[in-house]
Structure 1
């Protein structure tokens, strides 16, 4: 293969231009914000900043600004348990998964545990509930060769959580749990179907009933991804059971996803569609939040009511679907309506409740075990955790595969439009390691190195291999500045040099690749031997 040196080619084209006409720092240099490829029309939005400069929803003045959980926290399932709220999300191919977060005011959240430690496939839209003093989580999951729905349980939210029970439901996703007026437990499923559960909630009790609810239909000229009746969430209030459903497709056009409602006096129907449907919908691609949907209703501490649902941040599909909080009000006719508008402005916080410390530090000196709470492997084998060992502030990772595509990188969720990560990395002879932004095994970007050369990862392939002047130990800093990606390297962590390859990663997302995930920062080790990681640092950029 012939490599073209574009710098040399440009020099030849310039020909007689004097070198003095090209200053070291051009007067045309841009700020990070000016260089952002997309989304600058919302640059005026300012969040309060917390740990490591990460954005917080709570503005500290009695109001909040969405998202309540930034970054990839899709398909939220929320549980009110006395004064406490717990919420979990789809975790897809990341294991440990089913991360559970805790709040007492619906705005400030802290992580509690990762309830699922077994790889049961790509985890979609779970349902977290409490029934007769026990916590349950119903989980649809799929491998290419096997699909089903599972349930895990625990007597304490912190765990230990049980191993998964297979419900043998291969054709459905998005379970929504409810106890009917007959005292029986049911899971409502995508497509308007339903199945009854045994009294202990650990198995199905009979066949799937098809078509128990035919959802409201939008006008055929609306711009959507597809009908996709999914995400049923049910509650009993007064004389009615209410079913909240997502339709329109969870990605695709920004105007696709939406929230609709129906009600019935009996769990067995008939179901009456809300005359105000859709309750929530992104009506324009100019709005701050795209593809809003997959909602659950929850009562606040002082009796006010709210919806949690997800949405993509305008121009930032690469951040995944983020969790949003929208106030609702019940109307005299027994329906409800959303009051938060397009969620681009501060909203009065829920009344009552008590704020918990929000978020967590994403830097890691590897002195404590953050595996599961922060770090997860991508599509791991059963013994994948055996690759990791912590010792005296060093994370040892045994190498696997040949590249990020087949080495199960160690990644985490973050929610910033702009941030940098930095780490000291040392490798054995024969190993290659580095920092990456990882969507899936076919789409990632980053910088790694072996003992002689760098390796540049772009578009999910390994590209340029310039000489590595640092040998088997170096510091790498990766900066994702509003979806412009660049790298700096150092031999001592003091003097840094810009690596001559930048990238633009806004297209590393669901609408390009599928899979519904986000572009996660992470570490990888491939080849032979091991890599050693020290002093991993995260810092959000921006004000």
Structure 2
């Protein structure tokens, strides 16, 4: 798992001109003319591992402490993706997953490795501070069960050889020693371990096999790049060559084969406040070495290219929600394991009800419901019913992560008011600035809005009493990513309701709508 931070202003500026093909979407990779543009998802889907099973591609992505955990996406062409589901309905093994003892933001489940073998799906993942788990299921939609191994394999790279033997390649960037773990026959334990290679800074190992060669891909944190090594046997000796880096397309990834025998690469790129996004790239072979790009433009991931597989319809992960279903959509995740007694989609059909949880602030509040922001420029709007708000309740909407900017309704004794706070999650702990202490509000219905511009790394919130006339409050705030603090994820949208006291009321959410930010809307620059 690599991390880094850089502006995506240049990326966004170059791509905004193409947005007219999909005015209704925040981002659309499929251009509708047989081509696609990168990233295939303009959102935080980090640590990708993509496999093909028949005509279907599956993509596993990191979720840290968010619940449900380990997102699985599905595609028929590597460009148009839908969320198939999640591996873990709840996180287990640590009371901090319930947001106890400070919680485990930045930890949890990440850098999973997905494979299909013998009619089953397998997924290796190492929860922070725990031994590696090997999950398996007959269907990608589960149910998944797991076996816990007797060691911790950092960023495990799962691989099954032609004879059915299972292996895990593992390395950690602070060292660079690459170790190969051989699993026993039923994949329930490690049978043996041996060092097979050393490459300074290597981590995020992934293994594939092609034409009698084994290929080992490794991310290199200190260069935000990726190498490929090859050998005739898993024991080596290995030859190593540099591949690409964040300047030419990304890092931490590997290859996946197409049904027609071709190959494509997938790689994540650190992209500032939006998080870490996934690019895909054609790959060609020269002297049995993979080369990213095309013979005419080698060694770089193209911004735009022909689709790997033509004829597939447009698809994307869901975002907007009217909460008419009795089940949360797959785009939603809780900040930790939720208290299921404190939220409901059935107590008032057509609304999501969040009961106020007891907490001192947003960072420690359980049952905060999140969704990935989308770039390059987005507008998210929620419609709320405030009838259930009680004294002391702090219920609202905004961003969550490194910067948590929340516009909230606060219940008082016979009154309500709006407040806007910006919290920066620093290494010393969350630091909160109250931008707007109290705006009296008497209505029952309230609309809240968040505008985000990831090209300029700035955001702004606004409110309305009728959904038509809006008032921006609190000024612009920065959008940021920092792996050392926050949630180790890109900025998220967040719906929350908490009360510092012993009891509280509830917030009813009628709808959430996400769309592209209108071209004529300029989000002000955030103050330093």
- Give the alignment's TM-score, normalised by structure 2: 0.82
In the alignment, is residue 518 of structure 1 matched against residue 490 of structure 2? yes
Mark the runs of 5 or more structure 1 residues left unpaired by the alignment.
1-36, 218-226, 250-255
Which one of 344, 348, 371 corresponds to residue 388 of structure 1? 344
User: Are 1:212 and 2:196 counterparts?
Assistant: yes
CA–CA distance in structure 1, aligned partners of residues 345 and 327 of structure 2:
12
User: Is structure 2 residue 376 aligned with structure 1 residue 417?
Assistant: yes
CA contact (8 A) 1:429 1:472 kept: no
| From 201, 204, 219, the counterpart of 1:231 | 204
Structure 1 pair 176–428 and aligned structure 2 pair: CA distance change class (3 A): same
Q: Distance in 2 between matches of 1:207 and 1:334?
A: 30
1:349 deviation in Å? 1.8
Q: Distance in 2 between matches of 1:130 and 1:356?
A: 25
CA displacement at 1:183 relative to structure 2 = 4.0
Change (3 A) 1:91 1:42: closer
How far the C-alpha of 1:169 sits from its partner, in A, is 2.4
The 1:361–1:190 alpha-carbon spacing in structure 2 relative to 1, beyond 3 Å, is same
Q: How does 1:38-117 map to 2 (within 5 A)?
A: 39=9, 42-45=12-15, 46-48=17-19, 49-50=21-22, 52-117=24-89
Q: Select which of 368, 376, 385 maps to 2:333.
A: 376
The structure where strand makes up a greater share of residues is: 2
Instruction: State the alpha-carbon separation in 2 of the partners of residues 124 and 372 from structure 1.
Output: 21
Q: 1:339 to 1:214 in 2, by over 3 A?
A: same
Q: Structure 2 stretches of 5 or more lacking a match?
A: 1-6, 93-106, 173-177, 425-431, 520-528
Q: 1:512 to 1:190 in 2, by over 3 A?
A: closer
Distance change in 2, residues 1:505/1:234 (3 Å): same
| 2:285 corresponding residue in structure 1 | 330
User: What is the aligned counterpart of 2:399 among 437, 443, 457?
Assistant: 437
Q: What CA deviation, in whole Å up to 9, does each residue of 1:372-421 have, x standing for no partner? A: 6111111225x447533343211111111132111131101132121111
The match for 1:456 among 410, 415, 420 is 420
Superposed CA offset, 1:427-449 (max 9, x none): 42132111121116xx4112112
1:189·1:231 contact (CA, 8 Å) conserved in 2? yes
RMSD: 2.4
Give the match for residue 178 of structure 1.
159
Instruction: Give the one of 256, 276, 285 matched to 1:298.
Output: 256
> 1:243 corresponds to which residue?
216
- Which residue is 1:27 aligned to? none
Mapped partners of 2:11, 2:491: distance in 1: 22
In 2, distance between residues paired with 1:268 and 1:385? 52
1:119-149 Cα offsets, whole Å, 9 max, x none, are 146111101111100111111212xxx3232
The verdict on how the C-alpha distance between 1:524 and 1:42 changes in structure 2, with shifts beyond 3 A counting, is closer
CA contact (8 A) 1:104 1:356 kept: no
Task: Tell me the TM-score normalised to structure 1 length.
Answer: 0.80
Secondary structure of 2:196 counterpart: coil
Indicate conservation of the 8 Å contact 2:318/2:330, yes or no: no
Return closer, same or farther for 1:248/1:497 CA change in 2, 3 Å cut-off: closer
SS in 2 for 1:44: helix
In structure 2, the residue matched to 1:360 is: 317
Instruction: Note if contact 2:332-2:370 (Cα within 8 Å) is conserved in structure 1.
Output: yes
Q: Distance in 2 between matches of 1:281 and 1:484?
A: 26
Report if the CA contact (8 A) 1:198-1:205 is conserved. yes
Check if 1:266 corresponds to 2:266. Answer: no
For the Cα contact (< 8 Å) 1:112–1:158, is it kept in 2? yes
Specify which of 133, 140, 144 is matched with residue 150 of structure 1.
Answer: 133
Which whole-Å deviations, capped at 9, do the CAs of 1:489-518 have from their partners, x for residues lacking one? 12232332222x123323x21256365311
Question: Equivalent residue for 1:481?
Answer: 453
Q: 1:169 aligns with which of 134, 140, 151?
A: 151
Matched with 1:34 is none
The alignment of Structure 1 onto Structure 2 pairs a total of residues equal to 464
> In the alignment, does 2:187 pair up with 1:187?
no
SS in structure 2 at match of 1:412: strand
Return closer, same or farther for 1:115/1:404 CA change in 2, 3 Å cut-off: same
Measure, in 1, the Cα distance between the counterparts of 2:11 and 2:325: 41
SS at match of 1:43: helix
Deviations 1:311-352 (A, max 9, x none): 023xxx111111100111111x211211165446311221x4
C-alpha separation in 1, matches of 2:486 and 2:389:
35
